[in-house]
Amino acid sequence: MLLELDSVSVSFGGISALKNVSFAVPDGGIVSVIGPNGAGKTTLFNVITGFRRLNRGAVTFEGQAITGLPPYRIARRGLVRTYQKTEVFPELSVFECVRIGLLNRLDAGFFEVVLGGRRVEAFVAEAPRLVRDILATVGLERKATYAARELSYGEQRLLEIAVGLAAQPRLLMLDEPASGLNKDEAEKLADLICALRDRGITVLLVEHNMNLVMSISDTIVVLHHGEKIAEDVPEAVSQDPAVVSVYLGREWVADA
């Protein structure tokens, strides 16, 4: 298993956001986490990536405990996330934004960088090509010189994924990447996610867009009020009585 959650519980101010959540993400493939608003999906992301402390339980990545590590250390191990509210480096160029993600591949001390050690020089020399490749992967190669804030909303989402890709993730966690995208853009996104999976990047997805989730996920985990109520392949989850009752009254398999 690439990522394992063992009885993870989180509460703030006496309200429990996650209760005894356990599930595992196997290497390769796409796992999605769904659930109504407030089900604890983003809290789950924050706990896994070290942005929020958990009260009980353990998170294991590639067999090693990452519980309690600061976010950047977790990222260094190859577990990289994006944000629900799209995040970019607004004043930097698209090129520069992606280049920052590359830093995750460089392990060099202050003096080695400033004095220009051979590894550092090679890294810097290679950076432009890597950035161009990544921008081509997400389809932003024509926007390299634009400021990140100048991009459209959908493009900023792609840029954030590109920044994450630059960090060379083993597991890429995407928090509602399709929110705010039109149908066309969402379909392109689905293609992109599948392409990433085919390159060997495991994807953990939180998403409201049921078309997207149903079409690309290998496994779906359903959260409700902080508890896991189902975990199965898409067809089974959509038939699950507990899941259906949670989503009662919603257009369950249509566009969210």
Binding site for another protein (CB under 8 A): 49, 51, 70-72, 75-76, 80-83, 87-93, 95-96, 99-104, 106, 108, 110, 113-114, 116, 120, 123-124, 128, 144-148, 160, 163-164, 166-167
Token pair for 5: 């959650």
What is the total residue count of the chain? 256
Helices (H) and strands (E) in the chain, counts: 10, 10
Q: How far is the CB of 120 from another protein (least distance, A)?
A: 7
**What is the number of other CB atoms lying within 10 angstroms of the CB of residue 142?**
10
CA 172 to CA 202: how far, in whole Å? 6
**Of 36 and 71, CB closest to another protein:** 71
Q: How far is the CB of 53 from another protein (least distance, A)?
A: 15
**Of 91 and 133, CB closest to another protein:** 91
Q: How far is the CB of 134 from another protein (least distance, A)?
A: 12
**Of 57 and 164, CB closest to another protein:** 164
**Of 122 and 242, CB closest to another protein:** 122
**Of 117 and 180, CB closest to another protein:** 117
Q: How far is the CB of 156 from another protein (least distance, A)?
A: 11
66 close to 170: Cβ distance less than 8 angstroms = no
Strands 79-81 and 30-34: unpaired
Residue 16, SS3? Answer: strand
Q: How far is the CB of 217 from another protein (least distance, A)?
A: 23
**What is the number of other CB atoms lying within 10 angstroms of the CB of residue 196?**
21
Q: Give φ, ψ of 170 to 5 degrees.
A: -85, -40
